[in-house]
Amino acid sequence: MLVLGIETSCDETSAAIVENGRKVLSNVIYSQIDIHHQFGGVVPEIASRKHVEKISYVVDMAFKQAGLTVDDIEGVAATYGPGLVGSLLVGLSFAKALSFSKKLPFVAVNHIEGHIYANFITYPQLMPPLIVLVVSGGHTNLIVLKDFEEYEVVGKTRDDAAGEAFDKIARYLGLGYPGGPAINKIAKLGDEDKYKYPIADVEGYNFSFSGLKSAVINHVHGLWQKGEEFKVEDVAASFQKTVVNILVEKTINLSLETNIKKIAVAGGVAANTRLRDEFCKKCAEHSIEFFVPDFNYCTDNAAMIASCGYFKLQKGIVSSYRENAVPYISL
Ligand code: KG4
Ligand code: ZN
């Protein structure tokens, strides 16, 4: 079954065609990062206007690259939330219109759930049950995925998402947007044991990153005020290590407690090489299998939306055209 996926929740206009939820025939991404970079973050109004400008072209390219036409596909999936409402509306309306005109089943996909499915693309044999950590710019969720479409969220962030902490600290340090890749890059040149930052004591499998973010910012502010010399690389590396340790420790604990010895990571922060390495190491120590999407499927893309849409359609889940864009929804 061929499904067209459309993703426009933030600053990427993306369309993809995926076969049976696992095989990507095309995955076209028009990134607006260069435009928003100059503002230090995503400007919602500019983002939605760019989506309007690019959506037809991106969908056309997805068909061309797959060597297919719209008559070949059997379903249309689009992100309906969470995200920027003006941006979401562009992809969602396009998908509904295409589905209506071509009489194809339409399915609305939760963006956070979509991220999980990037793993089923990278690992065609991977099956639930799985422990999944979704870490992106807007979300930090620890999930027990019992089966496709059947999951329990056991942990969330109480405040900032992991990626948000990366972005805010990078912005403060003058490293630009998006902050995650910038911190990841310069942290390689720093001493991660140079500074000890506090780990928030949050109950159960929940997280909190805003205290850590403030601690890093206050620390750097103090160093600047005192005129003390320091290396931004050391700050970046020490901060990154702290975030990575919290994420890895709680995820491993959940795997051990549930005895589900398979961990998958998803979302933009899953592209972080320090996080990937630490998971590899700790999972090996505990005989847990570790899965992480290819880099291009960690950050926002429509292939993961098409994949998730496929598994929904397989279970007979079809959405109504009344399904609207929803900026704030959890899993
Ligand atoms: O999944 P995503 O593309 O969008 C959301 O759904 O939010 O994630 C974007 C987030 C941003 O916060 C970005 O800084 C972060 O993922 N990110 C990274 C890395 N690459 C992207 N964070 C840490 N290290 C990276 N290499
Ligand atoms: Zn995302």
Q: What is the pLDDT of residues 28-68, one digit of tens each?
A: 999 998 999 889 889 999 999 999 999 999 999 999 999 99
Is 268 close to ligand 1, i.e. is its CB under 6 Å away?
A: yes
* 155 CA to centre of ligand 2 in angstroms: 18
Whether 320 maps to a domain, the answer reads: no
Do 168 and 81 have their domain in common?
Answer: no
Is 186 close to ligand 1, i.e. is its CB under 6 Å away?
A: no
Residue-level pLDDT at 40:
85
Do 155 and 284 have their domain in common?
Answer: yes
Task: Pull the structure tokens for residue 190.
Answer: 């720093």
Residue-level pLDDT at 2:
98
Whether 329 maps to a domain, the answer reads: no
Q: What's the first-to-final CA gap in the chain, in angstroms?
A: 26
Report the DSSP pairing between strands 106-110 and 130-135.
unpaired
- Are 252 and 283 in contact, with CB atoms under 8 Å apart? yes
Residue-level pLDDT at 330:
85
Question: pLDDT class for 253, splitting at 50, 70, 90?
Answer: very high
Do 169 and 242 have their domain in common?
Answer: yes
Do 43 and 84 have their domain in common?
Answer: yes
Q: ipTM strictly over 0.95?
A: yes
Tell me: pLDDT of 159 over 90.
yes
Do 65 and 211 have their domain in common?
Answer: no
Do 49 and 137 have their domain in common?
Answer: no
- Ligand 1: atom nearest CA of 299 is 3
Is 240 close to ligand 1, i.e. is its CB under 6 Å away?
A: no
Question: pLDDT class for 82, splitting at 50, 70, 90?
Answer: very high
Residue-level pLDDT at 27:
98
Do 55 and 132 have their domain in common?
Answer: no
Q: Tell me how far apart the alpha carbons of residues 303 and 50 are, in angstroms, rounded to a whole number.
A: 20
CA separation (Å) from 269 to 10, 81, 210, 327?
15, 19, 16, 21
Whether 259 maps to a domain, the answer reads: yes
Of the listed ranges 34-43, 66-75, 222-231, 316-325, the least confidently predicted one is: 34-43
Do 82 and 216 have their domain in common?
Answer: no
Beta bridge partners of 14: 7, 29
User: Which of 298, 299, 300 to mutate for ligand 1's pocket (most ligand atoms within 8 Å of CB)?
Assistant: 299
User: What is the maximum alpha-carbon separation in the chain?
Assistant: 67
Do 104 and 158 have their domain in common?
Answer: no
Whether 327 maps to a domain, the answer reads: no
Tell me: pLDDT of 119 over 90.
yes
Residue-level pLDDT at 158:
96
Residue-level pLDDT at 41:
87
Is 267 close to ligand 1, i.e. is its CB under 6 Å away?
A: yes
Report the DSSP pairing between strands 289-291 and 23-31.
unpaired
Residue-level pLDDT at 49:
97
Do 263 and 143 have their domain in common?
Answer: yes
Whether 212 maps to a domain, the answer reads: yes
Calculate the average pLDDT of the chain: 97
3-state secondary structure of 282: helix
Q: Look up the domain containing 72 and give its range.
A: 2-117+297-314
Q: Tell me how far apart the alpha carbons of residues 33 and 297 are, in angstroms, rounded to a whole number.
A: 16
Residue-level pLDDT at 278:
98
Whether 273 maps to a domain, the answer reads: yes
Task: Pull the structure tokens for residue 28.
Answer: 């076209």
Q: Is 111 annotated as a binding residue?
A: yes
Four-point Cα dihedral 231, 234, 235, 237, nearest 10: 150
* 97 CA to centre of ligand 1 in angstroms: 30
Q: Tell me how far apart the alpha carbons of residues 57 and 64 are, in angstroms, rounded to a whole number.
A: 10
Whether 123 maps to a domain, the answer reads: no
Tell me: pLDDT of 284 over 90.
yes
* 269 CA to centre of ligand 1 in angstroms: 4
Total number of domains constituting the chain: 2
Q: Is 216 annotated as a binding residue?
A: no
Q: Quick one: DSSP state of residue 70? A: G
Do 199 and 213 have their domain in common?
Answer: yes
Residue-level pLDDT at 189:
98
Task: Pull the structure tokens for residue 100.
Answer: 């209506």
- The answer to whether the pTM exceeds 0.80 is yes
Percentage of residues in the chain having pLDDT higher than 70:
100
Q: What is the CATH number of the domain that holds 100?
A: 3.30.420.40
Do 63 and 147 have their domain in common?
Answer: no
* 250 CA to centre of ligand 2 in angstroms: 21
Whether 270 maps to a domain, the answer reads: yes
